[in-house]
Amino acid sequence: MRRKRLLRSWALGLLPLVLVAVVAAVVLVRGGQESDVRQDRPGPVLLVAGYGGSASSLAVLGAALRRAGRTVQVVPPVGDNTGDLRAQAQALDRTARQLIDSGAPSVDVVGYSAGGVVVRIWADDLDGTAVARRVVTLGSPHHGTDIAGLAANLLTGACPLACRQLAPGGEVLAGLPETPTGPSWTSIWTANDDLVIPSNSAALAGAVNIEVQRVCADSQVKHGDLPRDPLVIGLVERALGNPQPAAAPTASDCVALRRAGQP
C-alpha cells in the first residue's frame, strides 16, 4: 500500500515536468519553422499571377528580378486562374515545396492582383509561413473589390468562382488573417487602380503598406501596369532586399526607386 502511494506521488510529481517538456517541444517546433527562414539567405522568387492567370503580365518584373541576381519562377496557373482561389494556393504550395525539397532555404513570393490573396490563403491554410521569407503583393483586393461585388450580384453567369470570392465580405476574404506570422509582408498599390475599388482595399494590417503616389506623386500607373512600372519594380526589389525590409519609403526615395526599376 505504501509503495502504491509512493508511486502515485512520484507520478503526480512527474506530470508537470512532462507537460512542460511537451509544451517546450511544441514551441521549439513552431519556432523552428519560423527561425529556419533565414533573412540573410534569400531563396527563389515565386511570382503568382492574378485573375486570368496571364504569365506575360509578370514578364517585365521577372526579368528585372533576374537582372538583380534572383532566381525567378512563375507559379503555373490553375486553368485560367478564374476558379477557386484555394486551388490556386495549392498550386503555389506545390511549387514552393518542390523548391524547398530541392535545397532552397526559403522562398520569396510576389502576388499580383488576386495572386496576392492566393498568397495569403497559402500562408494561412497551407503553412506557407514555414517556408516564406518575404511576401509582396501588388494591387491585391485583400478586402474585396466593388467590381467583383457588382458582377457577382448582377452578372452571376459572367462572374466565375474567383470573381465571387473577391467580392467584399465574401467567405474566403472574411475568414482570412491579414498577415500570418512568419514572413515580412509588403503591400504595394496605386490610387489610380481601375479594377481594385476602393484602391486601399490592398492595405494589410501588419504589412509595410505603400501607395505609390505617396512615393512619387506624379505616378499615373493603373492596375494592369503595376508589374511593369519602374517605380513599382524598384519598390519590389527594395522589399525583397537584405537583411530586413525597411519601413515604407517616402517622397525623398522617388527618383532612386524609379531609377532602380529601369531596365
Domains identified in the chain and CATH numbers: 43-260 (3.40.50.1820)
Among 175, 174, 177, 169, smallest CA distance to 152 is for 169
Position 247 scores a pLDDT of 84
Tally the residues of the chain.
Answer: 263
Q: What is the mean pLDDT of the chain?
A: 88
pLDDT tens column, 80-118? 999 999 999 999 999 999 999 999 999 999 999 999 999
Confidence bin at 40 (pLDDT 50/70/90): confident
DSSP state of 253: G
Section 197-207 average pLDDT? 97
pLDDT(231) > 50:
yes
Inter-residue contact 134 to 183 (CB < 8 Å): yes
Amino acid making up residue 170: G
Question: 236: Cβ–Cβ under 8 A, 6 or more apart, which residues?
Answer: 61, 65, 110, 136, 138, 188, 261
Section 23-49 average pLDDT? 64
Distances in Å between the Cα of 144 and the Cα atoms of 118, 174, 209 are 13, 9, 17
Give the span between the Cα atoms of 174 and 131, in whole angstroms. 24
Position 41 scores a pLDDT of 86
SS3 45: strand
pLDDT(2) > 70:
no
How many of the other CB atoms lie within 10 Å of CB of 149? 19
Among 183, 247, 243, smallest CA distance to 215 is for 247
Position 3 scores a pLDDT of 44
pLDDT(8) > 60:
no
| pTM reported for the whole predicted model | 0.85
pLDDT(30) > 90:
no
C-alpha grid cell, residue 31: 519556432
Among 94, 65, 99, 102, smallest CA distance to 77 is for 94
Distances in Å between the Cα of 154 and the Cα atoms of 27, 83, 85, 170 are 49, 19, 21, 16
Strand order in the sheet with 45-48: 72-74, 45-48, 107-112, 132-138, 184-189, 208-211
pLDDT(32) > 90:
no
Give the span between the Cα atoms of 97 and 92, in whole angstroms. 9
